[in-house]
């Protein structure tokens, strides 16, 4: 797979991420994934490449979405829709702007290989036109175990600078109702390599 490096930074759950120009493999067919049924107490613990860990926990569940808290931002609650997109933040962030978190969409249920979805979001520095592509199912091993996961690639278009880039890869595993892995290609900014993550544990709620 051939990649070319670009740069764009956003902040998600306290970690900084970028996208890069990239070519990807064609989609591989497979089963569709419906929205997960989150439960109060669902808890994910992630480890960043730089060595530190953080957790995300579901504290409320409703018909239109759910609410999480994170050790990255201990004073804040994150209100999410059924796709996991943050729609509102209550309380103070430990760092960064709410515009780096609100409205960024990584999932669009139901999801299956070949699906694409587009949206527009107001980032902290500029508005972005976004496109996400569900590439294929893969068997992925992380410290929490081995899971069947959908690989997702996102493309970003900065409407102010006209910058365009693709290539940030995320793996979503239905078994744990969340993301299990993120990887940044070598040669990108060190802060991005440092904040790559793997799922360490998932504890279901009740």
Q: pLDDT tens, 14-70?
A: 333 333 334 344 445 678 999 999 999 999 999 999 999 999 999 999 999 999 999
Q: Which residue has the higher pLDDT, 176 or 30?
A: 176
87, part of any domain:
no
pLDDT at 121 over 50: yes
98-115 average pLDDT score: 94
Confidence of residue 73 (pLDDT cuts 50, 70, 90): very high
Range of 23's domain? 10-36+44-49+102-203
15, part of any domain:
yes
83, part of any domain:
no
**Domain total in the chain:** 1
67, part of any domain:
no
Span of 52-56, 161-165, 195-199 with lowest mean pLDDT: 161-165
pLDDT at 89 over 50: yes
112-124 average pLDDT score: 94
58, part of any domain:
no
Confidence of residue 195 (pLDDT cuts 50, 70, 90): confident
73, part of any domain:
no
106-129 average pLDDT score: 94
What is the DSSP track for the chain? --B------EEETTEEE----B--PPP-----BPPP---TT-EEEEEETTS-EEEEEEEEEETTEEEEEETTEEEEEEEEETT--EEEEEE--SSS-GGGTTT-----SSB-TT-EEEEEEE-SSSEEEEEEEEEEEEEEEETTEEEEEEEEEEEEEETTT--EEEEEEEEEEGGGTEEEEEE--TTS-HHHHHT-EEEEEEE---
158, part of any domain:
yes
| pLDDT score at 17 | 37
84, part of any domain:
no
């Amino acid at each position: 797979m051939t990649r070319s490096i670009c740069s764009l930074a956003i902040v998600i759950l306290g970690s900084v991420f970028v996208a890069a120009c990239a070519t990807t493999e064609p989609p591989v067919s497979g089963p569709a994934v419906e929205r997960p049924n989150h439960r109060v107490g669902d808890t994910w613990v992630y480890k960043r490449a730089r060595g530190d860990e953080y957790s995300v926990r579901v504290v409320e569940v409703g018909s239109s979405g759910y609410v999480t808290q994170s050790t990255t931002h201990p004073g804040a609650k994150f209100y999410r829709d059924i796709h996991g997109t943050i729609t509102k933040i209550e309380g103070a962030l430990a760092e960064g702007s709410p515009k780096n978190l609100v409205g960024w969409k990584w999932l669009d249920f139901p999801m299956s290989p070949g699906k694409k979805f587009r949206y527009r979001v107001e980032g902290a520095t500029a508005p972005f036109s976004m496109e996400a592509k569900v590439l294929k199912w893969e068997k992925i091993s992380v410290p929490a175990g081995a899971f069947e996961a959908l690989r997702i690639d996102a493309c970003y278009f900065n409407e102010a600078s006209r910058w365009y880039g693709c290539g940030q890869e995320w793996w979503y595993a239905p078994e744990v109702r969340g993301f299990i892995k993120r990887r940044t290609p070598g040669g990108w900014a060190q802060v991005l390599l440092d904040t790559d993550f793997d799922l360490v544990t998932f504890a279901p709620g009740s």
